[in-house]
A and B are shown apart, each in its own frame.
Chain A
Amino acid sequence: MSPAAGQIAGRRNPWLRSGLYLTLAVFAFLYIYPFLLELGTAFKTETDAVGNPTNPLPHNWVVSAFSQLGNQDFPRWFTNSVIVAVFVTLGRILFDSMAGYALARLRFRGRGAVFAAIIAVMAVPGVVLLIPKFLVIRTLGIYDTYPGLIIPLLADATGVFIMKQFFESVPASIEEAAKIDGAGVFRIFWSVSLPMARPALMALTILSFQGSWNDFSDILIAHENPSLDTLTTGVGRLVSGQLGAATEYPLKLAAAVAMTVPVAIVFFVFQKHIMRTGQGALKE
């Protein structure tokens, strides 16, 4: 049903409307409640966490889990995560939009082959290339360096696919007009097509940032020096290996909270942009 139909339906049938809100409320609860628990348990003692798991409010608020974590290298992990996420996102936006545009708009020999190759490559499970990717990283001499964390993540077939799909769905008439006016290919791309691509770029930005910030396995194999750990590998190593043998829920969830808060903040900031763009499209 379209948004409009819902409006009409709502007007006709108040039961449908309240049923709708009820469904939404139930789902929203299922999606939000675990985070409330995560936040609350991080401030509990171990006994409180195990004894009253369903109550997100601690019996006694303690910060022992966080101070335990404070003895770890959080600032460095955070900085590394930021570096990796920012560079990977910028790189992907630039390269993927260029490639997607070329595949959708520009005619060149081998275009079909490149696209087919991208589709084929998308089917390759990134995770099982961990070992050989690690060998390539090592061979290129970027193992245990920042470029080693960033450059492999720039290989993103999905992003190219998304941009290509988007450019294909937009009529070329404006670009045609610019071409007639004598603008060069790059100029058209930069000044005309790219601004039009804001919704797709927003989606790509969020996907890229999120993907690189949350990446675990690729970072894991690209380094061994603890000073290059990002939040994921730092916390992951902390809580999953021998150091995490005991089920210390407050500690583990405090780590989870500390990892989630930064990306949540960024998300909420960006969120307004998506909403604005989405509403802009709706107005017409």
Chain B
Amino acid sequence: MATRQLALPARRRAPDTSGARRGHRARRREAAAGWLFTAPAVVALIVFLVVPIIMAAWVSVSDWSGIGSPFSAGVHAVGTANYAALLTQPGLPQQDLGMSIRDNLYYVLLVVPLQTALALLLAVVVSRKALRGRGFFRTAFYFPSVTSSVAVSMIFLFLFADSGVVNGALGFLGVHGPQWFTDPNGLLHMIARGAGIRPPAVLTGHGLLGLSWWDWLAGPSVAMVTLIILAIWTTSGTFMLLFLPALYNISEEVEEAAIVDGAGPWTRFRRITLPLIRPALFLVLTLGLIGTWQVFDQVFLITQGNPAGTTLTPAYLAYQVSFGSQQWGQGAAIAFILFGIIVIFTVLQRLVLRERGSVTQARGRGM
């Protein structure tokens, strides 16, 4: 039965015996089919992803002012002027870029691990056979992911208002909640101040991209924390769903055998569960990294980069600089710098995970 195939662990593949049997003509038909099948997706990607990249590249080295076509006669190339203004020349563009990268970096570093861990935890708990009301819980956790960023932003604006729900709950616990959307202080700075640590001169004297090293270490601001919570709350449900099929695939017999052998829960998790969810984990981390560097809607709807530029992200900055200030060249340049950052992160992530992947693949086959 076809359904029986689905229960097999994702890693095992049937041996490919087709090569020897196929004839030359069949191979050509297959090749044609291959191109035909991928054509619509590929064309859409070329026209709406590749061509725009090329156009953005041109705009980023031009002085297009936003009126008329960017390829018209009046638009000139200005070389790397836009990039220089952003990366090397001290001034507001450089500082804004530095702030946006710093803010987004903290966002990424906090959201990706937390949402992955939470999604996995929820998936593990929800996938238990004996759990009653499993459907209800799964729905509850996934539901925030279903709503739009506009609706969620409205909800969070309400929840984190100064005398709103969150502060009310904190007050109940005896804690005086901060002014969530207007407090620009970074968490790490607040901790340092609380511990009486003063920044050494080497950190305040030098810096990168218009921010001193001490400013880079500010940590996410209180306002950024609300966006981080929003992201985790909204996307953990989607990623939970991505872990579930892999968890369902874990065979009962293997588990029972491991328990009988005396393996504790952590060992079972490491040896059985983790290798089998590795593809899902890879997918979740990749999607998480790419997604967190793209945060735009929430910044647009809730904070607009405030307070004091601590919720700026490169994506929002590019938009603001282009549509708000009509500095289209600079906006496109910011977009490319962001592109570079994401490529670096994605490559790093694949390098790190692929190595470990091959090791556990071997281990998996040995079982």
**Does A243 lie at the interface of the complex (its beta carbon under 8 Å from any beta carbon of B)?**
no
Tally of contact residues, B, Cβ under 8 A: 130
In Å, the complex CA distance between A30 and B273 comes to 27
Point out the residue from A9, A117, A140, A240 that lies within 8 Å of B301, measured CB to CB.
A240
In Å, the complex CA distance between A279 and B127 comes to 11
User: What string of 1s and 0s marks CB contacts (under 8 Å) between B1-19 and chain A?
Assistant: 0111111101111101110
Point out the residue from B31, B130, B161 that lies within 8 Å of A108, measured CB to CB.
B31
Point out the residue from A99, A156, A195, A216 that lies within 8 Å of B297, measured CB to CB.
A216
User: What string of 1s and 0s marks CB contacts (under 8 Å) between B329-350 and chain A?
Assistant: 0011011001100110010000
**Does B314 lie at the interface of the complex (its beta carbon under 8 Å from any beta carbon of A)?**
yes
**Does B125 lie at the interface of the complex (its beta carbon under 8 Å from any beta carbon of A)?**
yes
- B7→A281 contact, CB < 8 A: yes
Interface centre among B130, B256, B265, B342 (most CB of A within 10 A): B130
- A106→B33 contact, CB < 8 A: yes
Point out the residue from B38, B283, B338 that lies within 8 Å of A99, measured CB to CB.
B38
Surface stretch bound by A, among B77-85, B150-158, B212-220? B150-158
- B255→A157 contact, CB < 8 A: no
Please classify the interface of chain B as helix (H, G, I), strand (E, B), loop, or mixed, using the class held by over half of its residues. Answer: helix
**Does B146 lie at the interface of the complex (its beta carbon under 8 Å from any beta carbon of A)?**
yes
In Å, the complex CA distance between A28 and B126 comes to 11
Smallest CB gap from A259: residue in B: B151
In Å, the complex CA distance between A151 and B49 comes to 12
Smallest CB gap from A140: residue in B: B47
With a cutoff of 8 Å between Cβ atoms, the chain B residues found around residue A231 in the complex are 148, 150
**Does A253 lie at the interface of the complex (its beta carbon under 8 Å from any beta carbon of B)?**
yes
- Decide yes or no: A151 and B50 within 8 Å by CB, A8-B259, A103-B38 being known contacts: no
What are 9 residue pairs bridging A and B, where the CB atoms are less than 8 Å apart in the complex? Answer: A5-B258, A23-B125, A99-B37, A106-B31, A107-B27, A110-B35, A124-B49, A125-B290, A131-B318
Beyond A54-B165, A131-B328, 4 extra complex contacts between A and B, CB < 8 Å: A1-B268, A152-B48, A264-B143, A271-B139
Q: Please give the residue numbers on chain A whose beta carbons come within 8 Å of chain B beta carbons, in ascending order.
A: 1-10, 20, 23-24, 27-28, 30-32, 34-35, 37-38, 41, 49-50, 53-54, 94-96, 98-99, 101-103, 106-111, 114, 117-118, 120-133, 135-136, 139-140, 151-152, 154-158, 160-162, 165, 168-174, 176, 179-180, 184-186, 189, 195-196, 199, 203, 207, 210, 213-214, 216-217, 231-232, 235-236, 239-240, 247, 249, 252-253, 255-257, 259-260, 263-264, 267-268, 271, 274-275, 278, 280-284
Q: Please give the residue numbers on chain B whose beta carbons come within 8 Å of chain A beta carbons, in ascending order.
A: 2-8, 10-14, 16-18, 21, 27, 29-35, 37-38, 40-42, 44-45, 47-53, 55-56, 59, 69-70, 122, 124-131, 135-141, 143-152, 154-155, 157-159, 161, 163-165, 168-169, 233, 237-238, 241-242, 244-245, 247-252, 254-256, 258-259, 265, 268-269, 272-273, 279, 283, 286-287, 290, 293-294, 296-297, 300-301, 314-315, 318-319, 322-323, 328, 331-332, 334-335, 338-339, 342-343, 346
